[in-house]
Structure formats: structure tokens, C-alpha cells
Amino acid sequence: MKLLVHYNHPEILLDIVESRFPDLEVHCCRSYAALGSDMAAFGPEVVYCIKFEDRPYPREALIGDPALKWISVGGAGVDHLAPWDPARLRVTNSAGVASDVMAQYVLAAILTLTLRLPAFARAQAERRWAPQEVGSIAGRTVAVIGLGHTGRDVARRVGAAGLRVLGLRARPRPMEGVDRVYGPEALEEVLAEADYVVVSLPLTERTRHLIGRRAIAAMKPGAFLIDVSRGGVVDGAVLSEALAEGRLGGAMLDVFEREPLPPDSPFWDLENVIVTPHSSSVYEGWERASAAMFCDNLVRWRAGQALDNVVDPARGY
């Protein structure tokens, strides 16, 4: 069986694959430009891939290859591959590999924004002694928009900190750690009740700009938004406007519609915004965890068993 690895730093994956599957024929492609020619020359049955360049992914090199049977994505997002024919091609992701670390990021964001730590950091940089009141999370409510792997871990973490948790998912049902679960039709109702809104959704045609003008207008005045989803779920122009006008208390943003975030983005200059460079899921050990998940799935694939984390292209997860 042939495996093509499309990643510019494949060493950890290769070590694990070669130790567990010494009979596997493996080829590495370390650039976007060479993917099409490498696919044609090597003819793999399986591809493991991770986005690693700041430009559109060469999806046609994979989706258009009739010999390819399975794409394993090393991260959670698959919007760069959509659409595909699930009757011909399986696509899996690594959802869950970073969910607890992302939940830690969200809890840190809630505390950072509430305790006004950025204001103290600015004062320190200017050598100013600037006492001020800080907030408290006691009695506050968090709305988790999207209850997949990350959303569930967020609910668990923030609930353990004493926050009330509301959740929204496509097919609502009671979930451990969530005080109440709503369906998509209740989005504005949920937003109006929340002191903190955590966006944790895949990017699909249905979710693009879901957090747009109507949704942001529905948010409680002074509420905080934390985005760990995919760039495009939140309408950045509308959000920056609401933040600049003071209608929202602040935001901590890890994903953006354009990445890297352009130097002229208003988010850089807003004092009530913290920008992080799509790093909430990048932790020490994530590559090894993703590789191990892939190898466990590869055992299933070779045995003719059902794969874990198969993505429905219509739903994006």
C-alpha cells in the first residue's frame, strides 16, 4: 500500500509510521507546487496532509485523483478540501487531538478579558501605576456555539470554573456539562443571554458569517467573544465595528478570514482585542498525537474496518 505525506515537517509522523508499518511504501511531498506531479507519479491510495502555507490549498491535486481512496487531515478543519464525493473518497480529520488545550485557551481568554489583564500589561509597558477595578466570572454565563470535540471540552472547563453553560448544536440533546442545549434556530436567544460567546464551529456554507450583523446585534451589551473556530464563521468587519463602537466588551481571536492577519486590519489597533496567530490548537506534542490517531485509523483501514472521524462534506464534520 502507498501513503503520500503532504507536510513540510513530516519527521515525527514518519518515525511513527515506519515503526508501526515497516511494509508501507511512503513518499513525502513538502511543497504545494509539487503536490500534483507527486500524486501523479506516486499514485497513493492514502494521503495524510496538513496545511502549511499561507495560500489556497491545492485541493484539486487530491480531490481530482481517481486512484486516491482516503485523505487523513492532520488538523480538525477540512473546509480547504470541500466539496468531495463521499461515495468515492473518504476524508477524516484529527478532531479531538487539541480540544482540551483549546478549552484551556478559552478559559484563559475569559479570565484575561474579565480581569482586564491587557490594560495592566499596557500600563506596565508604559511604566504607569494604573489601579483599576477588575471583573469577576462569578454568576456569569457562557454560550458555546458548536458542541463538537472542542465545544464539549470548553463546556467542561468553564463549567468547572463555576460558569453557567449554554450550548448550541445542529441536533440538540442534553449533554453532560451543559446546563441547556439549544438548536440553531435559537442562536439569537442564546447570544442575548451570554456574557461570553465562544465560537467553535466548522466553516461550511451554512456557517459562513453565521456570527454576522444580526447575531452580533443580538449579543448582550458589553459581552465578550472568543473565536477558536475557522476564519469566516465570524464576520470580521461587523465584529470590528461593534468592538470599536464599544457595543461589545472585548474579544480574543485566534482565527481570521485572511491569515496571516493583514497589517491594516483594525483588530491590531483595538485595545479591547487580543489577537493570537491561529495557535490555540498548536501545543507541544500535537503532531505526535495527530500521527498516532492517523496510525490507529490506518490499522482499521488495512483491516477493512470503519474509520474514526469520517467527515460528512455536507456538514463539515
Grid coordinates belonging to 229: 473556530
Among candidate residues 152, 157, 230, 287, the one labeled active-site is 230
* 230 assigned to active site: yes
* 173 assigned to active site: no
* 188 assigned to active site: no
Among candidate residues 156, 180, 278, 288, the one labeled active-site is 278
Among candidate residues 25, 60, 188, 259, the one labeled active-site is 259
Query: Which positions are annotated as active-site residues?
Result: 230, 259, 278
